[in-house]
Amino acid sequence: MGDFSSHIAIIGGGVIGGGWAARLIENGFKVRIFDPDPDAERKIANVLENASVASKNLSDIPRPIPGEVVYSKSINEAAKNALLIIESVPERIEIKRAVYREIEIHAPANALITSSTSGLLPSDLQAELLHPERLLVAHPFNPVYLLPLVELVGGKKTSPDNIERAKGFFKSLGMRPLHVRKEIEAFIADRFLEAVWREALWLVKDGIATTEEIDDAIRFGFGLRWAQMGLFETYRIAGGEAGMKHFIEQFGPCLELPWTKLMDVPKLDDELVEQIASQSDAQSGAYSIRELERIRDNNLVGILKALKANDWGAGKTLADYERGLIQDIVE
Ligand SMILES: NC(=O)c1ccc[n+]([C@@H]2O[C@H](COP(=O)([O-])OP(=O)(O)OC[C@H]3O[C@@H](n4cnc5c(N)ncnc54)[C@H](O)[C@@H]3O)[C@@H](O)[C@H]2O)c1
């Protein structure tokens, strides 16, 4: 587990902070969380319960003895003596910077600080830090305890050593750290998702498809392909025996056709928001969010296990992680 033998602090225990807590305690770490929401403890407990079920279902080997979560009353209490501080507060730069100011007063000078931000630039996040070299973005995906991807993005002042430190650490948690070498807003995955999201909003607004029809267009088709081969490898096969070059020659010119409205953003006025919300209620309102979380987790576990059996993609990351855990037990 590298040099992260002390506890890990999580500042902000919402959807993402709770998910980080779950992945960490499933790996035996002690976690201290600070969140001012009086309901945070209950919400985190729900995430931890889901994560515990998912980890048991996913794992084919004995799991590490789970760590523990301690709820702190202040940033000070959480960050003091922590060797890693994971910031998962709302996506507003002034809130994040205020949190860092306090972390810097209390945390050890060598403590790494990672931000879960979905798109803010690390250079902007670290601008006011006394030790900016130790801040980087570690952008995870929900549910953090099941999805292995974490995008690592350094700012202008982040030290390469700290990127390497973070890579090693997140790998030891069974994750796939993807180093985004050039700093760019929204990194890699969310730039992609934003494009898909914009196009989906247009399809609803223009009355072409409902939320359910859009989801079906994804999950019955290309969504299944993407989970195991992504975009380019999938298209390589779609080019037939002639491969990628043929695929691009055939479909590249379509990009000139008016197939998408990608750069225009539909106005999210009350009418569109209501349209999406009511279609989503009709599509999924029969289930509570907790039921949907469990269904999602069970499906993800099944997919990951199938990929693990094939030693492929996210399943290979899982298989490597489990081989490492067995090695630890043997040693
Ligand atoms: N939700 C996602 O799918 C997702 C995915 C990846 C990254 N992120 C990023 O993770 C971060 C957190 O997002 P989220 O979805 O968990 O939001 P959230 O609203 O679920 O949680 C944010 C939490 O921060 C707490 N908080 C507010 N001010 C605080 C403060 N000063 N100190 C400590 N805690 C404070 C809130 O009480 C809340 O519980 C954001 O930067 C977001 O962009 C979100």
pLDDT of residue 1: 43
User: Is 1 inside a domain boundary?
Assistant: no
Pocket probe mutation, ligand 1, options 11, 20, 33, 35, max atoms within 8 Å of Cβ: 35
Q: Are residues 77 and 129 in the same domain?
A: yes
Please tell me the predicted confidence (pLDDT) of residue 241: 84
96 plus 148 within the same structural domain: yes
Residues 243 and 166 placed together within one structural domain of the fold: no
**Hey, whose CA ends up nearest to atom 15 of ligand 1?**
15
Residues 62 and 96 in one domain: yes
Q: Is 27 exposed, middle or buried (0-12, 13-18, 19+ CB in 10 A)?
A: buried
The one-digit pLDDT tens for each residue of the chain (331 residues) are: 445 667 999 999 999 999 999 999 999 999 999 999 999 999 999 999 999 999 999 998 888 899 999 999 999 999 999 999 999 999 999 999 999 999 999 999 899 999 999 999 999 999 999 999 999 999 999 999 999 999 999 999 999 999 999 999 999 999 999 999 999 999 999 999 999 999 999 999 999 999 999 999 999 999 999 999 999 999 888 888 888 888 888 888 887 877 777 778 889 999 999 999 999 999 999 999 999 999 999 999 999 999 999 999 999 999 999 999 988 777 7
* Together in a domain, 18 and 141: yes
Which residue's alpha carbon is at the smallest distance from atom 5 of ligand 1? 141
CB 65 within 8 A of CB 103: no
Q: Point out the ligand 1 atom lying closest to the alpha carbon of residue 11.
A: 33
**According to the model, what pLDDT value does residue 215 have?**
97
Residue 124's domain comprises 8-179
Whether the CB-CB separation of 211 and 204 falls below 8 Å is answered with yes
> Does 184 map to a domain?
no
Report the separation in Å between the CA atom of 91 and the middle of ligand 1, taken as the mean of its atom positions.
7
One domain, residues 30 and 147: yes
Please report whether residue 60 resides in a domain. yes
- Residue 174 shares a structural domain with residue 195: no
On whether residue 2 sits in a domain, the answer given is no
Indicate whether residue 41 lines ligand 1 (CB < 6 A): no
pLDDT of residue 259: 75
Neighbours of 262 (CB within 10 A): 12
Ligand 1 within 6 A of 161 CB?
Answer: no
Give me the number of domains the chain comprises: 2
141 & 202 share domain: no
Nearest CA to ligand 1 atom 38: 14
Q: What is the pLDDT of residue 103?
A: 97
89 lines ligand 1 (CB under 6 A): yes
How far apart CA 85 and CA 233 sit, in angstroms, is 36
Cα 102 to Cα 330: distance, rounded to the nearest angstrom: 42
Give the torsion sign (CA, 137, 141, 142, 144).
negative
> SS3 letters for 167-208?
HHHHHHCCCEEEECCCCCCCCCHHHHHHHHHHHHHHHHHCCC
Structure pTM?
A: 0.93
CA 121 to chain centroid, in Å, comes to 16
The CATH number assigned to the domain holding 155 equals 3.40.50.720
Is the C-beta atom of 151 inside 6 A of ligand 1?
no
One domain, residues 149 and 87: yes
Q: What residue has token string 């998962």?
A: 88
Q: Are residues 173 and 212 in the same domain?
A: no
How many Å lie between the centroid of ligand 1 and the Cα of residue 18? 9
Domain ends where: 155, 179, 203?
A: 179
User: For position 46, what pLDDT does the model report?
Assistant: 95
pLDDT number for residue 263: 78
Q: Whose CA is nearest to atom 28 of ligand 1?
A: 89
Ligand 1 pocket test, candidate residues 41, 89, 125, most atoms within 8 A of CB: 89
99 and 195 co-located in one domain = no
Domain finish residue from 120, 144, 179:
179
> For the domain that residue 312 is a member of, what is the CATH number?
1.10.1040.10
Same-domain check for residues 165 and 259: no
Ligand 1 atom nearest the C-alpha of 37 is: 37
